[in-house]
Amino acid sequence: MDKFALKIMCPDHVFFEGDATMVEFTTTQGNVGIYAKHIPMVNVIAPGKLSIHCEDGSVKTCALHSGFAEILQDEVTILADSCEYSDEIDVNRAKEAKERAEKRLSQRDGIDVARAELALRRALVRLDVAGYK
């Protein structure tokens, strides 16, 4: 299977750099799967699960929180606000963030609804990637 260079950069570090056969992530337009030789494009990333399909057949699953992706035929670069492997996720903290966001959204008085919805989405993604619902 053809491979391409994948680089995922967060503000303070390079999260991943290596070859991949496929990468899947969520954009503001929906879920995408990118293979080598894909048509060039740029996407806005929405919070969601990121799956990196490696040459050896393994799949690395991560929580990807917003950013941009540049897709070229032989390389994909993701500029991410934040990205976490499943074993790096603090499940208790994610559960607490989910509860706080749900509480804010249920009250809706004087809150930034979009910010609360984004916080809820991030918490749900973290819990999903960590294997919790």
For the stretch 80-124, pLDDT in tens is 999 999 999 999 999 999 999 999 888 877 788 888 899 999 999
Q: Give the pairing type, strands 13-20 and 4-10.
A: antiparallel
pLDDT at 84: 95
pLDDT at 133: 62
- Asked whether residue 65 falls in the same domain as residue 98, the answer is no
In the three-class reduction of DSSP (H, G, I as helix; E, B as strand; rest coil), residue 99 is classed as helix
CA dist., res. 64 & res. 133, Å (int): 17
- The neighbouring-strand residues paired with 68 are 44, 79
Mean pLDDT of the region 34-43 = 95
CA dist., res. 130 & res. 118, Å (int): 18
pLDDT at 132: 81
Range of the domain at 95: 90-129
- Asked whether residue 36 falls in the same domain as residue 95, the answer is no
CA dist., res. 112 & res. 129, Å (int): 26
- Asked whether residue 59 falls in the same domain as residue 119, the answer is no
Percent of the chain residues topping a pLDDT of 90: 84
